[in-house]
Amino acid sequence: MVDIAQQLAQVHERIAQAEQRFNRAPGSVSLLAATKTCAPEAILTAASCGQRVFGENYLQEGLTKIEALKKENFEWHFIGPIQSNKTRDIASHFSWVHSVDRLKVAQRLSDQRPSDLDVLSICLQVKTSDETSKSGVLPKDLIKLAKEVALIPNLSLRGLMTVPAITHDFEEQRKPFKVLYDLWCELRNIGFELDTLSIGMTDDLEAAIAEGATLVRIGTAIFGSRSQKST
Ligand SMILES: *Cc1c(COP(=O)(O)O)cnc(C)c1O
Protein backbone atom coordinates (compact mmCIF):
# COMPACT_ATOMS: atom_id res chain seq x y z
CA MET A 1 0.00 0.00 0.00
CA VAL A 2 1.22 3.45 -0.93
CA ASP A 3 1.13 6.01 1.85
CA ILE A 4 -0.45 8.84 -0.10
CA ALA A 5 -0.15 11.39 2.70
CA GLN A 6 3.55 10.74 3.05
CA GLN A 7 4.19 10.69 -0.69
CA LEU A 8 2.28 13.93 -1.16
CA ALA A 9 4.40 15.53 1.55
CA GLN A 10 7.52 14.35 -0.27
CA VAL A 11 6.31 15.89 -3.52
CA HIS A 12 5.73 19.21 -1.75
CA GLU A 13 9.26 18.92 -0.41
CA ARG A 14 10.70 18.22 -3.88
CA ILE A 15 8.88 21.27 -5.24
CA ALA A 16 10.11 23.49 -2.40
CA GLN A 17 13.69 22.30 -2.85
CA ALA A 18 13.61 22.84 -6.60
CA GLU A 19 12.16 26.33 -6.13
CA GLN A 20 15.05 27.15 -3.87
CA ARG A 21 17.73 25.52 -6.03
CA PHE A 22 16.60 27.29 -9.20
CA ASN A 23 15.88 30.67 -7.67
CA ARG A 24 12.16 30.43 -8.01
CA ALA A 25 9.96 32.27 -5.54
CA PRO A 26 8.77 30.02 -2.71
CA GLY A 27 5.24 28.86 -3.51
CA SER A 28 5.43 29.89 -7.17
CA VAL A 29 4.90 26.33 -8.41
CA SER A 30 1.48 24.79 -7.82
CA LEU A 31 0.66 21.11 -7.78
CA LEU A 32 -1.93 19.31 -9.86
CA ALA A 33 -2.46 15.70 -8.78
CA ALA A 34 -2.82 13.54 -11.90
CA THR A 35 -5.36 10.87 -10.97
CA LYS A 36 -5.72 8.60 -14.01
CA THR A 37 -6.37 5.03 -12.78
CA CYS A 38 -6.76 6.26 -9.18
CA ALA A 39 -9.84 5.28 -7.23
CA PRO A 40 -12.00 8.01 -5.67
CA GLU A 41 -10.77 6.86 -2.23
CA ALA A 42 -7.18 7.72 -3.16
CA ILE A 43 -8.32 11.15 -4.33
CA LEU A 44 -10.13 11.69 -1.03
CA THR A 45 -6.99 10.75 0.87
CA ALA A 46 -4.99 13.34 -1.05
CA ALA A 47 -7.77 15.85 -0.44
CA SER A 48 -7.63 15.20 3.30
CA CYS A 49 -4.01 16.41 3.08
CA GLY A 50 -5.08 19.63 1.41
CA GLN A 51 -4.89 18.76 -2.30
CA ARG A 52 -7.82 20.31 -4.21
CA VAL A 53 -6.68 20.35 -7.84
CA PHE A 54 -6.90 17.11 -9.81
CA GLY A 55 -6.24 16.21 -13.43
CA GLU A 56 -7.80 13.46 -15.51
CA ASN A 57 -6.70 12.14 -18.91
CA TYR A 58 -9.59 9.98 -20.00
CA LEU A 59 -12.97 11.55 -20.26
CA GLN A 60 -15.21 8.67 -19.21
CA GLU A 61 -13.02 7.77 -16.27
CA GLY A 62 -12.84 11.41 -15.24
CA LEU A 63 -16.58 11.96 -15.46
CA THR A 64 -17.25 8.95 -13.25
CA LYS A 65 -14.95 10.31 -10.54
CA ILE A 66 -16.20 13.88 -10.84
CA GLU A 67 -19.73 12.59 -10.36
CA ALA A 68 -18.72 10.38 -7.40
CA LEU A 69 -16.88 13.30 -5.74
CA LYS A 70 -19.33 16.02 -6.73
CA LYS A 71 -20.00 17.37 -3.25
CA GLU A 72 -16.28 17.90 -2.59
CA ASN A 73 -16.00 20.88 -4.93
CA PHE A 74 -12.58 19.96 -6.26
CA GLU A 75 -11.05 21.79 -9.19
CA TRP A 76 -10.88 19.40 -12.15
CA HIS A 77 -8.46 19.82 -15.03
CA PHE A 78 -8.65 17.84 -18.26
CA ILE A 79 -5.09 16.95 -19.33
CA GLY A 80 -5.52 14.19 -21.93
CA PRO A 81 -5.89 14.08 -25.70
CA ILE A 82 -9.19 15.56 -26.90
CA GLN A 83 -11.46 14.01 -29.50
CA SER A 84 -13.53 16.78 -30.98
CA ASN A 85 -16.77 14.81 -30.58
CA LYS A 86 -16.14 14.64 -26.81
CA THR A 87 -15.83 18.34 -26.12
CA ARG A 88 -19.32 18.82 -24.66
CA ASP A 89 -18.65 16.81 -21.52
CA ILE A 90 -15.23 18.40 -21.10
CA ALA A 91 -16.73 21.89 -21.38
CA SER A 92 -19.47 21.00 -18.89
CA HIS A 93 -17.50 19.28 -16.14
CA PHE A 94 -13.99 20.71 -16.02
CA SER A 95 -12.58 24.11 -14.95
CA TRP A 96 -9.42 23.83 -16.98
CA VAL A 97 -8.25 22.09 -20.15
CA HIS A 98 -4.47 21.78 -20.65
CA SER A 99 -4.50 19.94 -23.95
CA VAL A 100 -6.08 22.26 -26.51
CA ASP A 101 -4.07 21.93 -29.71
CA ARG A 102 -6.37 23.01 -32.51
CA LEU A 103 -8.86 25.72 -33.30
CA LYS A 104 -11.78 23.39 -33.88
CA VAL A 105 -11.52 21.99 -30.36
CA ALA A 106 -11.23 25.48 -28.83
CA GLN A 107 -14.27 26.65 -30.78
CA ARG A 108 -16.34 23.66 -29.68
CA LEU A 109 -15.31 24.02 -26.03
CA SER A 110 -16.42 27.65 -26.19
CA ASP A 111 -19.72 26.90 -27.93
CA GLN A 112 -20.49 24.14 -25.45
CA ARG A 113 -19.41 25.88 -22.24
CA PRO A 114 -22.57 26.13 -20.10
CA SER A 115 -23.51 29.77 -19.57
CA ASP A 116 -23.88 29.35 -15.80
CA LEU A 117 -20.20 28.41 -15.46
CA ASP A 118 -17.16 30.68 -15.44
CA VAL A 119 -15.06 30.88 -18.56
CA LEU A 120 -13.04 27.74 -19.20
CA SER A 121 -9.33 28.22 -18.51
CA ILE A 122 -7.19 26.66 -21.19
CA CYS A 123 -3.59 25.93 -22.03
CA LEU A 124 -2.38 25.26 -25.54
CA GLN A 125 -0.48 21.99 -25.78
CA VAL A 126 2.70 22.33 -27.81
CA LYS A 127 4.69 19.55 -29.42
CA THR A 128 8.24 20.19 -28.20
CA SER A 129 9.90 16.91 -29.11
CA ASP A 130 8.50 15.68 -32.42
CA GLU A 131 7.65 12.03 -33.25
CA THR A 132 6.76 11.12 -29.65
CA SER A 133 3.25 12.38 -29.18
CA LYS A 134 0.49 12.89 -31.67
CA SER A 135 -0.92 15.76 -29.61
CA GLY A 136 0.23 19.32 -29.64
CA VAL A 137 0.49 22.26 -31.98
CA LEU A 138 3.87 22.71 -33.65
CA PRO A 139 5.90 25.63 -32.29
CA LYS A 140 5.80 27.33 -35.70
CA ASP A 141 1.98 27.30 -35.66
CA LEU A 142 1.55 28.39 -32.04
CA ILE A 143 1.26 32.16 -32.36
CA LYS A 144 -1.36 31.93 -35.08
CA LEU A 145 -3.41 29.49 -32.99
CA ALA A 146 -3.04 31.64 -29.86
CA LYS A 147 -4.30 34.70 -31.74
CA GLU A 148 -7.30 32.80 -33.05
CA VAL A 149 -8.11 31.27 -29.67
CA ALA A 150 -7.85 34.66 -27.95
CA LEU A 151 -10.81 35.90 -30.01
CA ILE A 152 -13.10 33.08 -28.88
CA PRO A 153 -15.57 33.82 -26.07
CA ASN A 154 -16.06 31.65 -22.96
CA LEU A 155 -12.40 30.66 -22.89
CA SER A 156 -9.49 32.22 -21.05
CA LEU A 157 -6.09 31.45 -22.55
CA ARG A 158 -3.91 30.95 -19.47
CA GLY A 159 -0.76 29.31 -20.72
CA LEU A 160 1.13 26.52 -22.42
CA MET A 161 1.59 22.83 -21.71
CA THR A 162 3.82 20.11 -23.10
CA VAL A 163 4.50 16.41 -22.59
CA PRO A 164 8.04 15.81 -23.88
CA ALA A 165 9.68 12.55 -24.88
CA ILE A 166 10.89 10.59 -21.87
CA THR A 167 14.56 10.88 -20.96
CA HIS A 168 16.31 10.43 -17.65
CA ASP A 169 19.11 12.87 -18.36
CA PHE A 170 18.52 16.13 -16.50
CA GLU A 171 20.02 18.42 -19.14
CA GLU A 172 18.06 16.62 -21.87
CA GLN A 173 14.89 16.99 -19.82
CA ARG A 174 15.42 20.74 -19.65
CA LYS A 175 15.63 21.27 -23.42
CA PRO A 176 11.97 20.87 -24.43
CA PHE A 177 10.89 22.81 -21.34
CA LYS A 178 13.21 25.64 -22.36
CA VAL A 179 11.65 25.62 -25.82
CA LEU A 180 8.21 25.95 -24.24
CA TYR A 181 9.35 28.64 -21.81
CA ASP A 182 10.77 30.70 -24.68
CA LEU A 183 7.49 30.41 -26.59
CA TRP A 184 5.60 31.43 -23.44
CA CYS A 185 7.81 34.52 -23.09
CA GLU A 186 7.33 35.34 -26.76
CA LEU A 187 3.55 35.28 -26.37
CA ARG A 188 3.71 37.37 -23.20
CA ASN A 189 5.93 39.88 -24.98
CA ILE A 190 3.32 40.39 -27.67
CA GLY A 191 0.61 40.98 -25.11
CA PHE A 192 -0.89 37.64 -24.08
CA GLU A 193 -1.56 37.64 -20.35
CA LEU A 194 -0.36 34.14 -19.61
CA ASP A 195 0.18 33.00 -16.03
CA THR A 196 0.56 29.24 -16.45
CA LEU A 197 3.38 27.06 -17.69
CA SER A 198 2.11 23.50 -17.22
CA ILE A 199 5.20 21.31 -17.33
CA GLY A 200 6.75 18.60 -15.18
CA MET A 201 5.71 15.11 -14.18
CA THR A 202 7.12 12.64 -11.64
CA ASP A 203 10.41 12.05 -13.45
CA ASP A 204 11.15 15.57 -14.66
CA LEU A 205 9.64 17.83 -12.01
CA GLU A 206 12.99 19.44 -11.12
CA ALA A 207 13.90 20.13 -14.76
CA ALA A 208 10.49 21.72 -15.30
CA ILE A 209 10.84 23.97 -12.26
CA ALA A 210 14.34 24.92 -13.43
CA GLU A 211 12.76 26.10 -16.70
CA GLY A 212 9.92 28.09 -15.20
CA ALA A 213 7.04 25.68 -14.48
CA THR A 214 4.18 27.35 -12.63
CA LEU A 215 2.22 24.12 -12.33
CA VAL A 216 3.50 20.53 -12.23
CA ARG A 217 1.26 17.55 -12.97
CA ILE A 218 2.21 14.67 -10.69
CA GLY A 219 0.70 11.19 -10.57
CA THR A 220 3.13 8.37 -9.78
CA ALA A 221 5.07 10.15 -7.04
CA ILE A 222 1.81 10.69 -5.13
CA PHE A 223 -0.30 7.63 -5.87
CA GLY A 224 2.29 4.97 -6.77
CA SER A 225 3.02 3.41 -10.12
CA ARG A 226 0.05 2.67 -12.33
CA SER A 227 1.37 -0.73 -13.48
CA GLN A 228 1.60 -1.89 -9.86
CA LYS A 229 -1.93 -0.81 -9.24
CA SER A 230 -3.47 -2.83 -12.04
CA THR A 231 -1.90 -6.13 -10.93
C1 LIG B 1 -0.08 10.72 -16.39
C2 LIG B 1 0.18 12.14 -16.68
C3 LIG B 1 0.84 12.96 -15.76
C4 LIG B 1 1.45 12.42 -14.48
O5 LIG B 1 2.54 11.59 -14.79
P6 LIG B 1 3.43 10.89 -13.65
O7 LIG B 1 4.67 10.53 -14.36
O8 LIG B 1 2.66 9.72 -13.18
O9 LIG B 1 3.65 11.88 -12.59
C10 LIG B 1 0.98 14.29 -16.09
N11 LIG B 1 0.52 14.81 -17.24
C12 LIG B 1 -0.12 14.05 -18.14
C13 LIG B 1 -0.61 14.68 -19.40
C14 LIG B 1 -0.29 12.69 -17.90
O15 LIG B 1 -0.89 11.94 -18.81
Residue 9 forms part of a structural domain = yes
Residue 122 forms part of a structural domain = yes
Residue 173 forms part of a structural domain = yes
Q: 146: domain CATH number?
A: 3.20.20.10
Going from the Cα of 14 to the center of ligand 1, the distance in angstroms, rounded, reads 16
Residue 227 forms part of a structural domain = no
Going from the Cα of 15 to the center of ligand 1, the distance in angstroms, rounded, reads 16
Which ligand 1 atom sits nearest the alpha carbon of residue 32? Answer: 10
Residue 150 forms part of a structural domain = yes
Ligand 1 pocket, residue 46 CB under 6 Å = no
Residue 231 forms part of a structural domain = no
**Can you give the pLDDT of all 231 residues of the chain as single tens digits?**
789 999 999 999 999 999 999 999 999 999 999 999 999 999 999 999 999 999 999 999 999 999 999 999 999 999 999 999 999 999 999 999 999 999 999 999 999 999 999 999 999 999 998 766 678 999 999 999 999 999 999 999 999 999 999 999 999 999 999 999 999 999 999 999 999 999 999 999 999 999 999 999 999 999 999 876 543
Which ligand 1 atom sits nearest the alpha carbon of residue 80? Answer: 13
Q: Is the pTM of this model over 0.85?
A: yes
Ligand 1 pocket, residue 77 CB under 6 Å = no
- Determine the 3-state secondary structure of 164 from DSSP: coil
Residue 82 forms part of a structural domain = yes
Structural domain harbouring 27: 4-222
Q: How many domains does the chain contain in total?
A: 1
Residue 56 forms part of a structural domain = yes
Cα separations in angstroms, 195 against 30, 85, 121, 203, 215:
12, 29, 11, 23, 10
Q: Are 19 and 26 in contact (CB under 8 A)?
A: yes
Which ligand 1 atom sits nearest the alpha carbon of residue 79? Answer: 13
- The residues near 30 (Cβ < 8 Å, ≥ 6 apart) are 53, 214, 215, 216
